[in-house]
Amino acid sequence: MIRLRHAGIALALAVAPLTLSTGLAHAATTPLVVTQGSDYAVYDYDTKTLSVCDMESDGHWVYALYEKTSDSKALKLVDDNGSDAGCASVSGSVYRFRVCEDDMFGDSCSEWART
């Protein structure tokens, strides 16, 4: 019985370092996504990348308007392959952005999202 108890303690001591962590874990930040219908734009905080994706096979171009600082002019990022696979992306810090669909009756856009 004593041998069994010692074996249990030894096993617990051997497993403890495997289950305990003394280092700090890096938690990834959840990307910020805005949508307009099924189309979307997403900003990835970890990679500082803005992407815009056309997900509708409707013949309407999709683009993201974005600003690099609070007082900058809006820049345009276009997903120019339509709803085919792949999205348009740009790297860098972004202050705010929104996704728009170029349709016949004036462009439909999401609300601005601040990063």
The model's pLDDT over 12-41, given as tens digits with 9 standing for 90+, comes to 444 444 333 344 444 568 999 999 999 999
CA-wise closest residue to 39 among 13, 11, 20, 58: 58
| 62 CB-side CA count, 13 A | 29
Between residues 8 and 74, the one the model is more confident about: 74
pLDDT tens, position by position, 47-106: 999 999 999 999 999 999 999 988 889 999 999 999 999 999 999 999 999 999 998 888
Q: Could you tell me if residue 14 is inside a domain?
A: no
Residue 21 forms part of a structural domain: no
Six token digits for residue 35: 């949508």
Residue 110 lies in a domain: yes
CATH of the domain at 66: 2.60.40
Mention every residue, 6+ apart, whose C-beta is less than 8 A from residue 69: 95
How far is C-alpha 64 from the chain's CA centre? 14
- What is the domain extent for residue 74? 32-114
Answer with the residue of higher pLDDT: 35 or 7.
35
Tell me whether residue 27 is exposed, middle or buried, using C-beta atoms within 10 angstroms of its C-beta: 0 to 12, 13 to 18, 19 or more: exposed
How much is the pLDDT for 104? 83
pLDDT at 27: 56
Examine residue 9 and state whether it is found in any structural domain, yes or no.
no
H/E segment holding residue 50? strand 49-53
Total structural domains within the chain? 1
Within-domain flag for 20: no
> How much is the pLDDT for 47?
96
Residue 3 lies in a domain: no
pLDDT for residue 22: 40
Is 79:88 a contact under the CB 8 Å cutoff? yes
Query: Is 36 within the bounds of a domain?
Result: yes
On whether residue 19 sits in a domain, the answer given is: no
Residue 79, φ and ψ in degrees, nearest 5: -85, 90
Residue 9 in this model has a pLDDT that exceeds 70: no
